[in-house]
Structure 1
Amino acid sequence: MRTISLMNTISDKGTAVFDETYTYAQNAENPDAIMVRSADLHNLDYTDNLKAIARAGAGVNNIDLDECTKRGIAVFNTPGANANAVKELVIAGLLLASRDLYHGMEWVNTQAGSETLAKDVEKQKKKYAGNEIAGKSLGVIGLGAIGSKLANTALHLDMNVLGYDPYLSVDSALKLSRWINHKKDLKSLLEEADFVSLHLPLLDSTRGMINKETIAQMKDGVKILNFARGGLVNDDDILEALDSGKVALYVTDFPDGKLAGHPHVIGLPHLGASSAESEENCAVQAAKELRSYLEEGSIINSVNLPNVSLELKTPYRLGVIHENKPKVLSRSSDIISANGANIENLLNKSRGDISYSIFDLEERPSDEAIAAIEAIPEVIRVNLFEKEA
């Protein structure tokens, strides 16, 4: 029986993916795997039994990836599962930034009980008229699952779409309309965009990327939308730009004390992926990733280990997580062979300094053989998988 610890409330559709060979509960003790949404796991008390963590969402800033990698714990996310929900909210953000709907609604709410509201509306509405988004230029920084959906949708709203992503994947590129104007450098996008929308992960290289220098490259009166991660924008620099009028409006799904209440900031309470459909999609995808790994050692959508997918056709499989160094594969093979087991299939993939090797076997390797592989200095973890009858 495998145990899954739920660190947040997880959609029933997600937990329904697990069959009778699994148990799951909130904060279960000594779990084989963890499912999490937003709970902070940086101070997690790791157990030797913990093999995997699945984040029901895209960002993994709440997980200590370095520590998990050192312990051979596979960390998964669910790219694309919440993409439509975030895309729709960004479209709403574009409309909020263009037409002053927010302040218009605020004014209407102050008129409760007014007998002259219909007449007063005609006088007041000019204050909130705003502009249309058709014909304006939208700069999308990051063309992954969400950014590509936004870019394509904005074209159908008659916007001129500029895209920038130096790490654009083949899959994402194939999904993009040919009418999107791909920029080779960020500066040229910033110089042309009326709206700038951020859709990239928070890394050391992207933290605070919207700052004095990059804001200075933008049009006067630009409007910035951040539905990716709060740390991408330097709060002090964006506030200075808002006060000067260089940036007309900042729409963010990650408000904080410095930004809340500013007249030119529209802050939303991190609603990007908070649709019922998105939560279900993320939970189902995360549960499937865990089952695939725990049952057959296939790694799909890992953020810290190589992605390896191979159907388990033999009775047994060894999954060896190890440093990407010479002779680990041959030494492991020698130990298995010396144990009298024949290797039917072998697959090895690397991701930076980490490698993952799969050995498919007809005979069960002895405990002594597994211990001998674990004793190889470069080996981090060995998992044994058995094909279910």
Structure 2
Amino acid sequence: MFIAVVFYTFVVFTGIQIIYYFTFSSFLFSDKKQKKGVQKIPVSVIICAKNEAENLQKFLPLILKQKYDTYQVVLINDASTDKTLEVMQSFTREHKNIKIIDVENIEAFWGNKKYALTLGIKAAQYDHLLFTDADCKPVSKNWIYEMTQNFTSEKTIVLGYGKYKKEKLFVNLFVRFETLLTAIQYFSYARMGAPYMGVGRNLAYHRSEFFNVKGFINHMYIKSGDDDLFIQDAANKENTVIYTSEKSFTESEAPQSFNEWFRQKRRHISTANHYKFQHKFFLGLFFISKVLFFLLSTILFFIYPWEIILPIVLSYYFVQYLVIGFSARKLKESQIIYFLPFLEIGLLFFQFSIFITNLWSKPNHWK
């Protein structure tokens, strides 16, 4: 009786995983021709930087070389203690489309990135806003055009893809796999009319959406979440569109060690605690069903006929390889598919360790 219960529980959770992957496949069909908005609309590109002097020197020129007629670059110096402000000012000598917002810490919003971003959003010259980070670069000179062409009178939030640079580091594979899997999920949910997050490395929205939800007021006390918690408030199936053309990507420098990545993901996962119940439920069910799939399949291989268990496990991997394989190809991460089982199991242990650590201590936010 006990073995039968374990077996049928395994079958149920395997089925849940397969349903999830079929659901994730929805984003693969997202870039069909659609009615575009007004072309070449004026855009304000917003970059919030804290102690990013080196990255600004490296990546800001790529923003300033975009092939776009009318755009402004809003540089927000968030109380930096290095030469960030001086670097920003050096670029204004040759580029008249730069506006600098120099933010000083105040007691009520000490070290709060959302406060700095709010000042930048209010000061932006144009209503269509495109966000990225100081350590990011657009992969093409048409990045601004690719992202903003998706604006229409109805679609006022555009979710883009922010990838990580490919490097010959063991941790790099895990970082890129986790980024890919996260993107597959939030693109798919948005595609199905239930957007729940975006990434500040590549996100665009009309300023009216910011004021409609009173900015970051609902989560100002939470130091992270200027992207995903804002999307939780502002995005819905009517106003949100996803875009995954390669020319619309941004690329960031990946964490160079597991310790660095661990600290980064602790912040992100702690923010997810503030998601809406429905999003936490479905994201949690995906994680829990995956853990139980691996746990129960391992147990059953020892106590149940393997001839029955093996086809079920292979069915899971067949569907997973199809969906993640095509997704990785679409998002230019094809290398990942060769290491999929290893990366998947390793990521589960990594995420579980973060969950346990966050139970005992709170992560640090915003440098």
Same fold (TM over 0.5): no
Which structure has more helix as a fraction of its residues? 2
TM-score band, normalised by shorter chain = under 0.3
In the superposition, the TM-score normalised over structure 1's length comes to 0.23
Q: Which has the larger radius of gyration?
A: 1
Determine which structure has greater relative contact order: mean sequence separation of CA pairs < 8 Å that are 6+ residues apart, divided by chain length. Answer: 2
TM-score (norm 2): 0.24
Of Structure 1 and Structure 2, which has the larger fraction of its residues in strand? 1
